[in-house]
Structure 1
Amino acid sequence: MSIDVGIVGAAGYVGAELVRLLLDHPDFEVVAITSDADAGQTFASAYPSFSGVSDLVFTGHDDARLTECDAVFLAVPHTAAMALVPDLLSAGVTVIDLSADYRLAGADVFEQWYGVHHTSPQLLSTRFFGLPELFGDGLVAAAEQRAQGEPVLVSCAGCYPTATSLAAYPALDAGWIDSTSLIVVDAISGATGAGRTASARTHFCNVDENLEAYGVCRHRHTPEIEQILGAPGRVVFTPHLAPLKRGLLSTVTMVLSSEWASALTCEEAISRYRDFFNGRVFVRVMDEDEMPRTASVAGSNVCQIGLAISERTHSLIAVAAIDNLCKGAAGQAVQCANTLFGFDESRGLPLAALPV
């Protein structure tokens, strides 16, 4: 029996990626897609690549069918999810939220970085965090709760935090990194990460043949990365916009502790990372002297990780590449939903990238 799901915000790039993945999923049935701006139009009219594939029609965000779904995916901007989540949960609907509204554990931190009042802070202590490779036990607990008839809220990690945390977490977990040093993150994303609505920065004429930093010292993913890594006040995060459609590359530089500064080899680091991610089919730790490429993960739910050690500066450099729309958003949400409904986490998700 199929599992009925709805997608709120299906007109955006992440929402469209959700439609792409869920239409091919053997167990989920998309029964409602919403967009207030596009209500009444077919999904194929917004995305012609679905012509002849899907006859889905956009409805408004108030579509009553959402409350009849088994699960609803929210692909909406921050603050919009807060207006929807409590009512969906009250209706018994499990929610997989791709926005930032429930990612941070404290309402005070959210309000500091996002500049808005959190209207349902009580849900921050009961939500589950959607980064399966690092918080898989929580998702299993969420699945048990859902199986007992209780709806659950999963807040999926952001794209930059996903790549950065998968790159850095095993090293911190192993105790290799100096506990007082800064963790320096330089990350680059394609233009789809900014959403479908164009701005002066994301307009083709400005993106093409251009690379620039933005949100320097104030990007809202900073506290989320610090929360995941357990490193408050230590992350220097600088995102960059590249002339790409898909793709995200995060380079994390971490200073080794005095104990490991001269002892850790790249071979040992790779071995540890592979042990850490053993059984996680979407994470691939590369051989020594190999580094990830965004083109090698585009269209897939895969994260590639490359490692290098700077003997001169006693630093570990960890580089991760993901598709920002798939593993960084929609694919990760489906990966979480698979666990919630008792399926293998890889079910219905692409393991291979587009070859060219």
Structure 2
Amino acid sequence: MVFKAGVVGAAGFAGVELVRRIIEHPSFELSIITSDSDAGQSLASVYPAFAGITDIAFSRHDDPALEGLDVAFLAVPHTASLAVTPRLIAAGVTVIDLSADYRLKDPDLYEKWYGVPHTSTELLAQAAFGLPELAAGELQQAAQLHAQGKAALVACAGCYPTASSLAAFPAVHAGIVEGVINVHAVSGVTGAGKKPSSRTHYCHASQGAEAYGVGTHRHTPEIEQILSAPGRVMFVPHLVPMNRGILSTVSMQVASAASDFTLQVAHQLYADFYAASQFVTVLPLGSQPHTSSVAGTNNAHIGVGYRAETRSLVVTCAIDNLGKGAADQAIQCANIVFGLSEGEGLSSVALPV
């Protein structure tokens, strides 16, 4: 069975990555792509990589044909999904939302960090969190809803929260971490979106690196929600001169009660936790992840380190911010909701060079 799919916000970096995946997906048929600024233009004229592949053209975000889809992927900025998702859900369309609008379960927390009130709080309880390795139960509930012929809503995890939470969760979940969870993460420039700014201008970004949003970044409460660690995350993101990729380094203090904790114990904890995961690989002891090793994939590579003298557990995670951090993870979630193989339509081999 083939399902009709559309991408709202298809001209952005995450949106066009979704388009690339859906075009090659055996169970999804790309029916609609939207972009208000590019409406009427062919996809290939905006992104020549699609020349000879498809003649699909952009329509506007309010295209009524969206309501005839089986699934709509929303690659739009925060608050934009609030204006679109309720209408699509009411029309029976399953929504896979890459924005932040339905990730935070507490609407007051959303308003605090995003500066606007949440206008469809009734959907927050229904929204499944889209990080399959850590929220499998919620996605299975969404799959059951879809199997009953009802529209499901998936709020895909953000790029930084995906990498950071995959790195932190096994240790936090095991109850061996005390105090502040320090997250230092670097991202490629595509993580800032397609619209240029002074920070992402080539001349500014190409020869330097900088921290930003220190202690104020909007992904902080999302990481805390995933880890069930309110008020314990210090998140420091950095912009570095590369196109795509995230490397998150999470430093955690191991509780003194875990007296027999060693590097080998830490590594085994992570290896066991992700043993059944198709997309998360815990690297051998002594190895650390590299962003280029996961480029163009839904893969996450994890490295584990520990210093006994300071009882410091340091876990690193590399993902592609446009892959596991956005489009590929959205496809993974959609596969689960539609009862397909979790990895259908997703490449398992990174770009080798």
TM category (shorter chain) comes to over 0.9
> Is residue 94 of structure 1 aligned with residue 91 of structure 2?
no
The answer for the alignment partner of 1:113 in structure 2 is 113
> 1:56-135 alignment to 2 at 5 Å?
56-135=56-135
| Among candidates 262, 269, 274, match of residue 266 of structure 2 | 269
TM-score, normalised to structure 1, is 0.98
Post-superposition Cα deviations, 1:234-276, rounded to whole Å, max 9, x if no partner, equal: 100000000010100000000000122x421222222221211
Unmatched runs of 5 consecutive residues or more in structure 2: none
Supply the AA of the counterpart residue of 1:207: A
Stretch of structure 1 that moved more, 271-280 or 104-113: 271-280
8 Å contact kept, 2:221–2:230? yes
Determine what percentage of the aligned residue pairs are the same residue: 56
In structure 2, distance between residues paired with 1:158 and 1:284 = 20
> 1:161-240 alignment to 2 at 5 Å?
161-178=161-178, 181-240=179-238
8 Å contact kept, 2:13–2:322? yes
Supply the AA of the counterpart residue of 2:76: V
> Is residue 152 of structure 1 aligned with residue 152 of structure 2?
yes
Post-superposition Cα deviations, 1:277-301, rounded to whole Å, max 9, x if no partner, equal: 1221100001111000001001111
| Among candidates 330, 337, 341, match of residue 338 of structure 2 | 341
The Cα of 1:50 is off from its aligned counterpart by 1.0
8 Å contact kept, 2:280–2:300? yes
| Among candidates 292, 297, 300, match of residue 300 of structure 1 | 297
Unmatched runs of 5 consecutive residues or more in structure 1: none
Supply the AA of the counterpart residue of 1:77: P
> Is residue 327 of structure 1 aligned with residue 294 of structure 2?
no
Match of 1:36, SS state, is: coil
Post-superposition Cα deviations, 1:152-191, rounded to whole Å, max 9, x if no partner, equal: 110000000000000000001112112xx10000000000
The Cα of 1:209 is off from its aligned counterpart by 1.0
In structure 2, distance between residues paired with 1:101 and 1:229 = 19
Match of 2:143, SS state, is: helix
The answer for the alignment partner of 2:256 in structure 1 is 258
In structure 2, distance between residues paired with 1:116 and 1:175 = 35
Post-superposition Cα deviations, 1:123-164, rounded to whole Å, max 9, x if no partner, equal: 111111000000112111111111101101100000000000
The Cα of 1:312 is off from its aligned counterpart by 2.0
In structure 1, distance between residues paired with 2:220 and 2:341 = 31
8 Å contact kept, 2:295–2:350? yes
Match of 1:84, SS state, is: helix
8 Å contact kept, 2:105–2:124? yes
In structure 1, distance between residues paired with 2:111 and 2:230 = 17
Post-superposition Cα deviations, 1:194-250, rounded to whole Å, max 9, x if no partner, equal: 000100000101000110001111000000000000110010000000001010000
> Is residue 41 of structure 1 aligned with residue 38 of structure 2?
no
Match of 1:205, SS state, is: helix
Match of 1:182, SS state, is: strand
Post-superposition Cα deviations, 1:18-62, rounded to whole Å, max 9, x if no partner, equal: 011111111100100000000000111111111111211000011
Match of 2:134, SS state, is: helix
List 4+ stretches of structure 1 deviating above 3 A. none
In structure 1, distance between residues paired with 2:150 and 2:10 = 26
The Cα of 1:339 is off from its aligned counterpart by 0.4
In structure 2, distance between residues paired with 1:38 and 1:54 = 16
The answer for the alignment partner of 1:352 in structure 2 is 349
In structure 1, distance between residues paired with 2:261 and 2:303 = 16
In structure 2, distance between residues paired with 1:281 and 1:60 = 36
Supply the AA of the counterpart residue of 1:321: A
Match of 1:250, SS state, is: strand
Post-superposition Cα deviations, 1:94-141, rounded to whole Å, max 9, x if no partner, equal: 000000000001110000001011111111111110000001121111
Stretch of structure 1 that moved more, 272-281 or 14-23: 272-281
Supply the AA of the counterpart residue of 2:306: I
For these two proteins, the number of residue pairs brought into alignment is 353
The answer for the alignment partner of 1:141 in structure 2 is 141
Supply the AA of the counterpart residue of 1:329: A
Q: In angstroms, what is the RMSD of aligned CA positions?
A: 0.8
